[in-house]
Amino acid sequence: MIPQEIKKDIFWVGTIDWNVKNFHGHTYTTQRGTTYNAYLILDKEIVLVDTVYEPFADEMIEKINKIIPPEKIDYIIANHVEIDHSGALVEILKLCPKAKILGTQKCKEGLYRNFYLDMDFRVVKTNDKLNLGKRTLTFIEAPMIHWPDSMFTYCPEEKLLLPNDAFGQHYATSKRFDDEVDNAELMDEAKKYYANILWPLGSIILKKIEELQKMSIPIEMIAPSHGIIWRKAPSKIINSYIAWAKNETEPKVVLVYETMWGSTERMARMIVEGIINSGLEVRLFDVTRSDRTEIIKEMLEAKGFIFGSSTHDNDMLPTIAGFLEFLKGLRPKNRLACVFGSYGWAGGAVKNIEGILKDIGIEIVQPSLSIQYAPSKEDLDNCYEFGKNFAYKIKGG
């Protein structure tokens, strides 16, 4: 693929990872693959903003070579230390050994701990500037969006924000811009990215967006380090981030369960019937047969969560236990929940799920529902009412 000019003399020199299906170890399933976006700015000084994951270093270098000999690079901006963006740094530095690297103090420390190399690293802070000739770059520290080292780079002359991971999506496509792709698909991936990576960081994200607004920096284009570049409507993704960061919700329920011999599943289906007949949107997931990344995305805007499990060894089943552990790390706020499950002799699943929800700070709004062995007709009627009652609570009753 050839480099793509995204603004006059600013080129996308990133790579498309069509085949990656698991990201961050196995914490994120990337069904649509991803891209690692790096950008080359040609001016009196030549700047590479971020690099790519190391296995794609040759592709990035080939693209750069089509524009300029890499030894002409004067600066490399390291907005983030994580190796999907810094992995190719070592290879590119072999070709431009005199290039100075700019990033935060934490980035400097992190790069050293990744590569154990001496680099000509210059630490920058918020509002520090780099004059390129016709253009300037301004740096904005963005700690914990999403690592301590994270930083945004802004070019005022181009009204261009290069925020690294923020506003990104794991979305492999031959297109580069928001106006070239299916918008529902794009927003679906942006939402999935926020839910699975940034959800616990909402208060920090809100403060950072407020800080950007106070800086009065006009933004016409947001070029993140994954996925599509926002040029048609950068405000759309900023406003979505504000809503997600505020934990704004919709009257929608997500039910997640795990069943051993089918009793908990029959309960789940009747609870969902009660919710549907109350007119609420609901999604049901057997956690053992569903993509966790997708469930978390569905939960991002849902007001109500329902969790169910059969009891095994006085506890919940292991897959839902792992799911709740993951959810705990995302620290969802402003949600209502309820719990159900079946057991043989001594229960335990329902009580332990309640305990985890309390730890997370999710309010349980009605008594849990437990049944022994297989549900009777009366038990199933109770499940239906359980669903209806929860729907009533979600509607504000």
Residue positions annotated with a catalytic role: 24, 80, 82, 84, 146, 165, 193, 226
SS3 string, the chain, reads: CCCEEEECCEEECCEEECCCCEECCCCEECCCCEEECCEEECCCCCEEECCCCHHHHHHHHHHHHCCCCHHHCCEEECCCCCHHHHCCHHHHHHHCCCCEEEECHHHHHHHHHHHCCCCCEEECCCCCEEECCCCEEEEEECCCCCCCCCEEEEECCCCEEECCCCCCCCCCCCCCEHHHCCHHHHHHHHHHHHHHHHHHHHHHHHHHHHHHHHCCCCCCEECCCCCCEECCCHHHHHHHHHHHHCCCCEEEEEEEEECCCCHHHHHHHHHHHHHHCCCCEEEEEECCCCCHHHHHHHHCCEEEEEEEECCECCECCHHHHHHHHHHHHHCCCCCEEEEEEEECCCCCHHHHHHHHHHHHCCEECCCCEEEECCCCHHHHHHHHHHHHHHHHHHCCC
Nearer to ligand FEO, 37 or 309 (CB): 37
Nearer to ligand FEO, 27 or 213 (CB): 27
- Quote the least distance from Cβ 335 to ligand FEO, whole Å: 26
Distances (CA, A) of 227 to 32, 52, 176: 10, 13, 7
* CA count, 13 A, side-chain hemisphere, 299: 30
Q: Which residues, 6 or more positions from 283, have their beta carbon under 8 angstroms from its beta carbon?
A: 252, 253, 254, 255, 298, 302
- Quote the least distance from Cβ 56 to ligand FEO, whole Å: 13
Nearer to ligand FEO, 124 or 142 (CB): 142
Contact positions toward ligand FEO, by CB under 6 A? 80, 82, 84-85, 146-147, 165, 225-226
- Quote the least distance from Cβ 80 to ligand FEO, whole Å: 5
- Quote the least distance from Cβ 165 to ligand FEO, whole Å: 4
- Quote the least distance from Cβ 269 to ligand FEO, whole Å: 39
385's tokens: 């009412």
Nearer to ligand FEO, 148 or 348 (CB): 148
- Quote the least distance from Cβ 200 to ligand FEO, whole Å: 14
Largest pairwise CA distance in the chain: 78
CA distance 327 to 249: 16
- Quote the least distance from Cβ 383 to ligand FEO, whole Å: 42
Nearer to ligand FEO, 224 or 387 (CB): 224
Nearer to ligand FEO, 168 or 375 (CB): 168
Closest-approach residue to ligand FEO (CB): 82
Nearer to ligand FEO, 80 or 192 (CB): 80
